[in-house]
Structure 1
Amino acid sequence: MAKAQLRGLQDEFNCSICLDTLTDPVSIPCGHNYCLKCLTDFWDQSQECSCPQCRRTFITRPELSRNSLLNEVIKKFKKQRLSPPLSMNYAGPGDMECDFCTGKKFRAVKSCLTCMASFCQTHLQPHCEGAAWKGHKLVGPDGNLKEMLCVIHQKSLEIFCKTDDSCICMMCVVTGHIGHRIVELETEREEKEKQLQVTQSEIRSGLEQREKTLKEMRRTMEQMKVSGIKMTLHIKKMRNKLK
């Protein structure tokens, strides 16, 4: 019930400009709330000061001040949303453990290919809110992060070299693969998946055709068997007539 209520409140704490959770929330005379930066940038680019949501226009630009109460509510909301009951977060058999937990470790919910580490929901929070972590690539919990590092440069494998048919990092591109045919690893993965789907479709089609041929052969054999029986009976009748 509590989780359902939190999901219902989440939209109430979103900025209608950036569609993300309010940061440095400010209230304007019409009662709507926005991120301070979002609203400032919006008004700086507009010829008039109006509410992006209800379109109410203000003759003079309202002075913006942070809504401290709303800001505290949002902080508590984020903390509660990112910190479910501890009993549900402890790593169990087969679960990835958080690399930053001390003592009894919590279950990792994401792995970062930039940090090359796994995080529980609490330790993942900086990646969700901090600007310094915005460019980091998060994936599902992965216990083989070391296999995703370049053995030469210890950088994340992000590129696929078609010329050498190998996964490489950005450093490899400029040090040993100049002039090679390269694509993003994700692009190559999608292409390989499409090729695999085509191959699987061809295999299924071939199996269906073989099954059809086999059925036809069985039907022909049954017909030949029936014809053989009929021929044997006919020969016996002819012999009986000759006696």
Structure 2
Amino acid sequence: MAEAPLFVSHDEFTCSVCLDTLTDPVAIPCGHSFCLKCLMDCWDQSQECSCPQCRHTFMLRPELNRNTLLNEVIKKLKKTTLSPPPPQNYAGPGDVECDFCTGKKFRAVKSCLTCMASYCQTHLQPHYEGEALKHHKLVDPDRNLKEKLCEKHQKSLEIFCKTDDSCICMMCVVTGHKNHEMVEMETEREEKQVSDV
């Protein structure tokens, strides 16, 4: 009996950290697979062990074992069907790079003002799927995110202090601007746009 052809896409065998074909694939208890090196690098740089894709947090660092079956499937498919992702997704001069890509960086499609990071399409997915991230404020890619942070508290600048004519974070509101006249930055921006017309 003849075997039916197997149709797969490159995305099914891509590590969501490096956005390349899985190398030494390992699966973690939430079911997601990553390159062993990518996952180890993520966990070594963080104080907690969480899934880079769904953000599920593990109390203890899970033991990682290579998924030999998946590794063999990828090896066979590399020989026949898999091709690298199209080059137009990579960040070029003037593009905002994804802060979570390792190796060659993909172009960011959104920046998050809550996380203060920029994301390519793949790394942005948890912001659409995860309950904890759904309410974050996403904007068009912005290369100047650090300028939107309070130098003193490293928090997002959300308030405009009319008394001091400056942008401040919520910690500044409590610590140094009591009884000052303040508005949300959006409100101040709208007022200035109206007065400039």
What TM-score results when the alignment is normalised by the length of structure 1? 0.45
Aligned positions of 1:220-239 closer than 5 A: none
Instruction: State the partner residue of 1:140.
Output: 140
What SS does the aligned partner of 2:132 have? helix
- Alpha-carbon distance in 2 for matches of 1:86, 1:137: 29
Write out per-residue CA displacement over residues 21-64 of structure 1, whole angstroms, 9 at most, x where no aligned residue: xxxxxxxxxxxxxxxxxxxxxxxxxxxxxxxxxxxxxxxxxxxx
Aligned positions of 1:1-243 closer than 5 A: 86-197=86-197
What SS does the aligned partner of 1:133 have? coil
- Alpha-carbon distance in 1 for matches of 2:120, 2:146: 19
Q: Which runs of 5+ in 2 are unaligned?
A: 1-84
User: When you count helix as a share of all residues, which structure comes out higher?
Assistant: 1
How far off its partner does 1:104 sit?
Answer: 1.1
Name the larger-Rg structure.
1
What SS does the aligned partner of 2:183 have? strand
What SS does the aligned partner of 1:118 have? strand
Give every structure 1 segment of 4 or more consecutive aligned residues whose post-TM-superposition deviation is greater than 4 Å: none
Amino acid at match of 1:185: M
What SS does the aligned partner of 1:132 have? coil
What SS does the aligned partner of 2:167 have? strand
Amino acid at match of 1:122: T
- Alpha-carbon distance in 2 for matches of 1:194, 1:119: 32
Amino acid at match of 1:111: S
How far off its partner does 1:139 sit?
Answer: 1.1
- Alpha-carbon distance in 1 for matches of 2:175, 2:113: 22
Write out per-residue CA displacement over residues 153-182 of structure 1, whole angstroms, 9 at most, x where no aligned residue: 000000000111100000111111111111
What SS does the aligned partner of 2:146 have? helix
- Alpha-carbon distance in 2 for matches of 1:156, 1:86: 35
Amino acid at match of 1:186: E
What SS does the aligned partner of 1:126 have? helix
Write out per-residue CA displacement over residues 171-229 of structure 1, whole angstroms, 9 at most, x where no aligned residue: 111111111111000110011011111xxxxxxxxxxxxxxxxxxxxxxxxxxxxxxxx
Amino acid at match of 1:101: C
Aligned alpha-carbon RMSD (Å):
1.0
- Alpha-carbon distance in 2 for matches of 1:93, 1:154: 28
How far off its partner does 1:118 sit?
Answer: 0.5
Higher relative CO (Cα under 8 Å, sequence separation at least 6) belongs to 2
Q: Which runs of 5+ in 1 are unaligned?
A: 1-84, 198-243
What TM-score results when the alignment is normalised by the length of structure 2? 0.56
Tell me the matched-pair count.
113
What SS does the aligned partner of 2:91 have? coil
Amino acid at match of 1:153: H
Write out per-residue CA displacement over residues 55-111 of structure 1, whole angstroms, 9 at most, x where no aligned residue: xxxxxxxxxxxxxxxxxxxxxxxxxxxxxx633311111101101011111100111
What SS does the aligned partner of 1:127 have? helix
Amino acid at match of 2:109: V
Identity of aligned residues (%): 79
- Alpha-carbon distance in 1 for matches of 2:86, 2:101: 13
